[in-house]
Amino acid sequence: MAQWTSAVGAGQLARLLGSQQDRPAGPGTRRPPAYRALADGIRLLVLEGRVPVAARLPAERELALALTVSRTTVAAAYEALRAEGFLESRRGAGSWTAVPAGNPLPARGLEPLPPEALGSVIDLGCAALPAPEPWLTRAVQGALEELPPYAHTHGDYPAGLPALRTMIAERYTARGIPTMPEQIMVTTGAMGAIDAISHLFGGRGERIAVESPSYANILQLMREAGARLVPVAMAEGLAGWDVDRWRQVLREAAPRIAYVVADFHNPTGALADDDQRRRLVDAARAAGTVLVADETMSELRLDDDVERPRPVCAFDPAGSTVVTVGSASKAFWAGMRIGWVRAAPDVVRSLVAARAYADMGTPVLEQLAVNWLFSTGGWEQAVTVRRAQARQNRDELVAAVRRELPDWEFEVPRGGLTLWVRTGGLSGSRLAEAGERVGVRVPSGPRFGVDGAFEGYVRLPFTVGGAVAEEAAARLAAAARLVEKGGVGGGEAPRTFVA
């Protein structure tokens, strides 16, 4: 019986391999043999999670034709992968990907490192800051004081605690967007919100238009739900959204859903202005597409002179087109898994009804903690501190990267938590692998794209500053040297760093 659970076609694998571009070899640099380069490329795709473990690979002849190389080259590459534990084969069943014994399964998203690993590895994989204190402790204490009346109930609130729904609705109303509590559903983080929305409007095989690049974990969530992702390219740098291109894609592809991060976009940091927001909503309405606006970064304005645009939903007064997602996880703390949906009341009712077959509801104590923050002014105080911390981290990380890696290119965003960096012609996938060897964890660009795009990029979050930012940049420079020398398979041992 075959041990593979999915299959990768020859054309698809060729496209993924073709995205792995290296800087041209300099004088004296030795290129690996063709079979070795092919084996390394497939191994990287497995380690990145872009080709799943237990995926059947194409037959040697099929892949050779797709890559325009000899069958001998493909056969030698497959043999090398088998010897290294990245491929298993059985006569009559073909060959499928694997990971060597003792190796962790590749991450399909961007999971944070366990705390015990942080002494030797600098984690730039997760765009999240430590909890703001003393506001976290005060919020939990305030929640405990409010808990007794709820403890006498069943504790099951599929739409969220009425007090928190009312508070969130009032916050939208205060921004000039009249909102009723019936338009709010509290969720388990923004991921829970988008998962529920995708299942309600999408379904297996439905098209979803997404920014290219976009947030890696959301892309993976949609892929695993069986969606057909339709990428819409972002403009260069911080220019953001090419609305004419969006209008064309929405008209021609007719996606059921479009997902955008208009506020300090993850990963580029771009901020959509009012005109872009208005035109995006108009284009979605004309195409009959539900526009999901992710506002999780909206409060992370790092420069004081940046004017906060109106919410995307402000341009949809009838409430028929835009579904808004918010969260406490980015602006406050990733451990506070509270998100919310703002939508038309009938959409919220449908989401709540479907929730009975998913996670039932969101933890009561955490909802009470967020409600305490909103109702006491603690939220504004904590977010002010969070902005100052992220701003300082951003400035120190930018300075360190410019000093250590002057060939890398980026524009400095005015808010959010991420820096989108062009790596001077180096493969982001190979940089990520080399980074693991020298003690810095960084996500490569293809995680944020569709079908192998953005190989020449990495994302750097504003989660470290000071001496740690300097050390992170130095380790990235060491990783770049390894890639340039073709030494990703070996390299320097990570150093312990305690700040």
Written as tens digits, the pLDDT of the chain (499 aa) is 346 666 888 998 998 888 665 545 555 556 788 999 899 889 878 876 678 777 889 999 999 999 999 999 999 999 999 998 989 988 888 898 887 875 555 544 456 666 666 567 899 998 999 999 999 999 999 999 999 999 999 888 999 999 999 999 999 999 999 999 999 999 999 999 999 999 999 878 899 999 989 999 999 899 888 888 998 888 877 888 999 989 999 999 999 999 999 999 999 999 999 999 999 999 999 999 999 999 999 999 999 999 989 999 999 998 999 999 999 999 999 999 999 999 999 999 999 998 877 777 899 999 999 999 999 999 999 999 999 999 999 999 999 999 999 999 999 999 999 999 999 888 888 899 899 899 999 999 888 987 667 888 999 999 999 999 999 999 999 999 999 887 664 333 333 333 2
| Distance separating alpha carbons of residues 399 and 168, to the nearest angstrom | 38
| Distance separating alpha carbons of residues 494 and 474, to the nearest angstrom | 12
63 close to 87: Cβ distance less than 8 angstroms: no
257 close to 197: Cβ distance less than 8 angstroms: yes
Q: Which two tokens stand for residue 70?
A: 């000899």
In the structure, how many helices (H) and strands (E) does the chain have?
16, 15
H helix or E strand, kind and range, residue 165: helix 162-174
* DSSP code, position 293: E
For 389-478, list the strands marked E by DSSP: 418-422, 440-441, 457-461
Could you give the angle at which helices 364-376 and 162-174 cross, rounded to 10 degrees? 40
- CA within 13 Å, CB half, 358: 21
For 361-442, list the strands marked E by DSSP: 418-422, 440-441
Q: Which two tokens stand for residue 136?
A: 């976290």
332 close to 371: Cβ distance less than 8 angstroms: no
H helix or E strand, kind and range, residue 389: helix 378-404
Tell me the DSSP string of 175-214. Answer: TT----GGGEEEESHHHHHHHHHIIIII-TT-EEEEEES-
pLDDT of residue 239: 85
7 close to 101: Cβ distance less than 8 angstroms: no
Residue indicated by tokens 């792995």: 20
pLDDT of residue 492: 39
Residues in the chain: 499
Q: Which two tokens stand for residue 8?
A: 């990768």
| Distance separating alpha carbons of residues 37 and 486, to the nearest angstrom | 10
Full-model pTM: 0.82
Burial status of residue 94 (CB atoms within 10 A of its CB: 0-12, 13-18, 19 or more): middle
CA-nearest of 17, 36, 30 to 79 is 36
Burial status of residue 356 (CB atoms within 10 A of its CB: 0-12, 13-18, 19 or more): exposed
| Distance separating alpha carbons of residues 327 and 187, to the nearest angstrom | 9
CA-nearest of 481, 395, 386 to 440 is 481
| Distance separating alpha carbons of residues 57 and 69, to the nearest angstrom | 16
Residue 310, sorted as left (phi over 0), alpha (psi -120 to 50) or beta, turns out to be: beta
| Distance separating alpha carbons of residues 310 and 12, to the nearest angstrom | 41
**What are the residue ranges of helices labelled H in 198-331?**
216-224, 243-253, 274-287
| Distance separating alpha carbons of residues 416 and 461, to the nearest angstrom | 9
Alpha-carbon Rg for the chain, nearest whole angstrom, is: 24
| Distance separating alpha carbons of residues 55 and 45, to the nearest angstrom | 11
What is the strand order of the sheet 207-212 is part of?
Answer: 184-187, 339-342, 322-327, 290-294, 257-260, 207-212, 228-233
108 close to 50: Cβ distance less than 8 angstroms: no
Q: Which two tokens stand for residue 81?
A: 């992968």
**Amino acid at site 171:** R
| Distance separating alpha carbons of residues 479 and 404, to the nearest angstrom | 12
